[in-house]
Every structure is written in C-alpha cells, then in structure tokens.
Amino acid sequence: MANQTNSMAHTKWMCKYHIVFTPKYRRKVIYNQYKEDIRDIIKALCKYKGVEIIEGHLMPDHIHMLVSIPPKYSISQFMGYLKGKSHIVLALQVKSVYYNN
C-alpha cells in the first residue's frame, strides 16, 4: 500500500495528505451522539469523489484522516466539499430526529 501509485490518463500519482479538522465550536456532546453517522457520511462522500481513506480517527473534538486525493482536486476544494456536504447531510438527520420525537 505504501508504494501503490494510481494512474489517470496522462499521469501516475501518489498524493497522500494528513488532514485534521474540528467540528464547529468543538461541541463534544453533540459530536459523540452522531459519531457513527459522521463516519458513514465521510466514507460515502470520499467514495463518491474517488478519495481513498487510508486511515482515520474520530476523536471527541476533532477528526484525523490520512487520505489519498486525486490530483484533479485541490486539498481545499476537497475539504470544502467534505465539510459542506457532511454538514448538510448531518443537519437533515438531526432535524428529522428532532421533529420525529
């Protein structure tokens, strides 16, 4: 896995990034309630973009990820997508739980 190179039409690449990000305001209580949901959402969004999660850890107040991002996406573009879409999906899940109770 360490020396695995991926290829596109005209390139061979191996781009791995260690990313650490925090949910807004580090709300540990809310974050711990939805930890499994966040993990599943992040996995699905990465799969959709063709990003491989090599290693990931969900801590109580932040997320560590080692990912392999194709060179057609910048890191900032991918993180904007990941944080934006995961927030929307999670907000819809929280809203449906809130209104169903």
Q: What is the pTM of this model?
A: 0.80
* Complete domains list, the chain, with CATH: 15-100 (3.30.70.1290)
Conformational region of residue 25, where left means phi above 0, alpha means psi within -120 to 50, and beta covers everything else? left
Cα separation of 55 and 61, whole Å? 17
pLDDT over threshold 60, residue 1: no
pLDDT tens, position by position, 29-87: 666 777 888 899 999 999 999 999 999 998 887 889 999 998 889 999 999 999 899 88
